[in-house]
Amino acid sequence: MNIVADEQQPLLTPNSEDAEYGLFVKQDEVILDFEDGDPENPREWTARFKWCIVLLLASMAFTVTFTCIGVVPVASRIVYELSGDSDPSSSTSALLVTIWELGEAAGPLLIAPLSEVFGRYAVMNGCNIAFILSTFLAATSQSTKLFIAARMLTGLTVASNVLNPAIIGDMYESEKRGSAMSLVMLAPLIGGAVGPAISGTIAQTLGWREILYIAAGLAVCCEVLFLTCFRETYKMCILRKRAAKLLRDSGEFAGMDRGKSRHENMMKLWHSITRPFAVFFGSEVLLLLSLFGSVAFSYFYVMSISLPNILQEVYGFTPAQTGSAFISFSVGSFCSVLLCNFSLDRIYIRLRSPSDARGKPEYRLPMAIIGAVFLPLAVTAYGWIAQFRLPVPLLLLSVALLGFTLLLTIIPLSAYVVDACGIYSASAMTGVIMTRCLMGTFLPLTTGPLAENLGYGWGFSCLGALSLSLAVVPVLILRYGEKWRQRSEVTRDV
């Protein structure tokens, strides 16, 4: 008897059922799948429990962003204290902020495939523990180099960015994912607002290390909840464990070649590690969306690096006031999340024809097109307001508009990837996140030279022009994406 629960092939239609195990028999093979009402099926969980999981994911996403952005308003102070340099270079301060994204670019290369081999539960908890240790290392660093290395390790161990959308895809049908996705996207925005506001005040009174100790404490609380409340959501992991139990009960497991089994597991892991590259470079849709989304996302770090300098050098703000100014970005982002929460699923259902029960992933993109059009305007306005030293409320309004248009672009893209890639959504998100993080690491480093040589106005106009040139990407994918997706095995309709 062969038991099949292979993610490389679709589950077959049942010919006969085994009520206890949810088994389907076809010729000499037993095909595993969930039955209606199966308590282990994440999509059969109660709505209340699903939202508890979503809130847990959102809590960790908040903590991650709080840890990342909390040091932004005091980056120069940290470099000065650790290096002893009375005039720390802007590039060092910028790298201290953006190096996090370099770690996040590498982390998903292992996190996503490991989650598809060992399950979301094991990988999420392992990464959370490593994140806590890395945060403590950063808090106790005695040199700039060690602090930057610890920040990269902290970014390397972040699992929420790549696994949160996949976990939501595990639990919800396509037309019900918008609200959960929006909430998970909202949590980092709150962390991005609270982090700088608190860190600026704490840095002036207690010191910057206490910021990281608070972040580590929040992460410990989240991890305790993950260990006790979170359950496995990945379908193939649940079915593989069920298949192993059946083999043990039938006595076939004892007779298996354990060496062959270990070899097969290693090959499966290697295949899972290399799969993100195959998915990413084998799909022109993902390549285009990754390029478009990565440039849009990098403007968050462009703003994070430039805003403290503008407020302190041009407007004379203190670190505490500078941290509070970041709330404007989160206010704009919050409004964008509310709009996506209200309209993302509604647009998807409205565009879906009565004969099309499943709908198309492209129906997620109209909101992204709107964001793509207005994001360049927000970036350009931000630069010229700083250039002409216009009133602070106008500057903060442009920051809020930047947050609004950025999230209006990013949220639909994540929903599109989850819808288009199905059970491979974690690997697909890896390619998207890797490109986004690399762009978020290096593109913001051009902010200082652009502002120094061209001024804030023309410097940010160049960044706006770059974004405007890529605004055609979601339009093309909305029009031709369904056809292009059929060229890739992972994004092909089944």
**DSSP state string for 24-42:** EEETTEEEE-PPTT-TT-G
Domains and CATH numbers, the chain: 42-234+271-485 (1.20.1250.20)
Identify the residue with better confidence: 168 or 24.
168
Lay out the sheet containing 29-32: strands in order across.
Answer: 2-4, 29-32, 23-26, 17-18
pLDDT tens per residue across span 437-461: 888 888 888 888 888 889 999 999 9
User: What is the distance between the alpha carbons of residues 462 and 41, in angstroms, rounded to a whole number?
Assistant: 49
pLDDT tens per residue across span 133-173: 999 999 999 888 899 999 999 988 988 877 888 899 889 88
8 A C-beta contact, residue 16 and residue 24: yes
Could you give the 3-state DSSP secondary structure of residue 23? strand
Q: Which two tokens stand for residue 237?
A: 């992991």
**pLDDT score recorded for residue 125:** 94
**pLDDT score recorded for residue 121:** 92
CB count in 10 Å sphere of residue 341 = 18
User: What is the distance between the alpha carbons of residues 296 and 299, in angstroms, rounded to a whole number?
Assistant: 6
8 A C-beta contact, residue 128 and residue 218: no
**pLDDT score recorded for residue 261:** 58
- What's the mean pLDDT in 23-44? 65
Q: What are phi and psi of 147, to 5 degrees?
A: -65, -45
Closest CA to 489 of 253, 246, 283, 224: 283
Model confidence band, residue 489 (pLDDT cutoffs 50, 70, 90): confident
Helix (H) / strand (E) element for 17: namely strand 17-18
Q: Which two tokens stand for residue 306?
A: 């430039």
Residue 3 has pLDDT above 70, yes or no: no
Q: Which two tokens stand for residue 388?
A: 């002409």
8 A C-beta contact, residue 156 and residue 104: yes
**pLDDT score recorded for residue 400:** 94
For 250, residues 6+ apart whose C-beta sits below 8 A from its C-beta are 1
Residue type, 370: I
**pLDDT score recorded for residue 135:** 94
Residue 27 has pLDDT above 50, yes or no: no
Residue 34 has pLDDT above 80, yes or no: no
Mean pLDDT of the chain: 81
Identify the residue with better confidence: 415 or 18.
415
Residue 254 has pLDDT above 80, yes or no: no
Identify the residue with better confidence: 40 or 262.
40
Q: Which two tokens stand for residue 264?
A: 């097969």
**pLDDT score recorded for residue 265:** 61
8 A C-beta contact, residue 289 and residue 432: yes
**pLDDT score recorded for residue 396:** 94
User: What is the distance between the alpha carbons of residues 323 and 317, in angstroms, rounded to a whole number?
Assistant: 10
Q: Which two tokens stand for residue 339?
A: 């709009």
pLDDT tens per residue across span 77-130: 788 888 766 554 457 777 887 788 888 778 877 887 788 778 899 999 999 999
